[in-house]
Amino acid sequence: MIGCGDEHAACLGGGVLRPGLVGDIVGTAEPICAFSPELLFDPGCLVETHCHADPASWLIENPGFVSGGNYRWYRDNFAGEPVLSALRQGANAYALLDAEAERVPAGAEGLVFLPCLMGAMTPTWNDAARGVFAGFTLAHSRAHFTRAILEGSAYAVRDITDRMRIIGLDPREIHVMGGGARSRLWNQIKADVTGIPVVVPYTTETTALGAALLALVGLGVDASLAEASNRVVQVRERIEPRTETREIYENLYALYRQTYAAMEPVFTEAARRAQQSHVSGSPPESKRSG
């Protein structure tokens, strides 16, 4: 037992050790990882095949679209003075933003966010993609934009869990980990968007816990990773999808996909023009060499 990578340890510490379990590691980026007892490959390459921390198993994962990083960027630039004042006083600014967003109806009244501020890892891998807010009007408030950011990440999670189903997996629970797992609203949105129950462990910073489980097995305290996990990993909350909201998000998820597809040629053209501008703005060769 010699250890593993960070995402592998996080899934181990989150109890992702059985078929049907998906790990959702909500940090600056958001890797989505599923346990698989058998070797699987995605011909569309949205998800990759990695070794699991358990050497007898596999981890099928999308390595992570920017997620919490989007929320932090939004907080730092657009949260407003009351939220920033709370942040300076040590309060949880995200909890204040969540509370505002919770008062907005599911779907943010037609406002759609594409979480591509650093390119896209889903629904396709596209380094030319950029963040998009679509469908807003004078009737939309900051709370709508906050909710749209949370929903955009949830739509991206569904991209990946749907793809996992296509290649032969059966996602039945999403175990959330990392800083974003502390948001009850975000967890509920993910359950409603994907139709999959969301499980929150007592210990949400699971990477260090997973490394400790490896050490327990390495020292012989536990006979297997499954035994160590069953003894140590505990569930704090299980959040079920709400039927009425699930139906609302079914249509809105389709709108999110349509928005992304409509923007793909725009992303490509913008990247081409940016490259042309960069080339045309370069100094002549004689001046550069001098």
Q: What is the CATH number of the domain that holds 76?
A: 3.30.420.40
On the question of pLDDT at 286 being above 70, the answer is no
Range of 11's domain? 6-276
Q: Is the Cβ–Cβ distance between 145 and 100 less than 8 Å?
A: no
pLDDT tens for each residue of 229-272: 999 999 999 999 999 999 999 999 999 999 999 999 999 999 99
Token couple for 1: 């037992």
Lowest mean pLDDT among 22-26, 185-189, 213-217: 213-217
Kindly give, in sequence order, each residue whose CB lies less than 8 Å from that of residue 82, ignoring residues fewer than 6 positions away. Answer: 96
- How many CA atoms, within 13 angstroms, populate the side-chain half-sphere of residue 93? 21
Residue 48 has phi, psi (to 5 degrees) of -105, 160
Q: Measuring CA to CA, which residue among 156, 153, 155, 164 is closest to residue 60?
A: 164
The percent of residues above 70 in pLDDT, for the chain, comes to 95
Q: What is the pLDDT of residue 288?
A: 43
Is 284 a member of any domain? no
Reported confidence tier of residue 1, pLDDT bands at 50, 70, 90: very low
Number of domains forming the structure of the chain: 1
Is 289 a member of any domain? no
Is 261 a member of any domain? yes
Q: Measuring CA to CA, which residue among 112, 30, 116 is closest to residue 67?
A: 30
Reported confidence tier of residue 127, pLDDT bands at 50, 70, 90: very high
On the question of pLDDT at 8 being above 90, the answer is yes
Range 158-187 average pLDDT: 97
CA–CA separation, 167 and 91 (whole Å)? 43
CA 153 to chain centre: 6
Is 153 a member of any domain? yes
Is 287 a member of any domain? no
Q: What is the pLDDT of residue 87?
A: 76
What's the pTM value of the predicted model, to 2 decimals?
0.92
Q: What is the pLDDT of residue 209?
A: 95
The percent of residues above 90 in pLDDT, for the chain, comes to 85
Range 149-155 average pLDDT: 98
CA–CA separation, 152 and 182 (whole Å)? 18
Q: What is the pLDDT of residue 2?
A: 59
CA–CA separation, 147 and 193 (whole Å)? 13
Is 81 a member of any domain? yes
Q: What's the maximum distance between 2 C-alpha atoms anywhere in the chain? A: 69
Token couple for 3: 């250890």
Q: Measuring CA to CA, which residue among 61, 78, 75 is closest to residue 28?
A: 75
On the question of pLDDT at 41 being above 70, the answer is yes
Is 250 a member of any domain? yes
Per the prediction, the chain carries an average pLDDT of 93
Is 205 a member of any domain? yes
CA–CA separation, 123 and 256 (whole Å)? 10
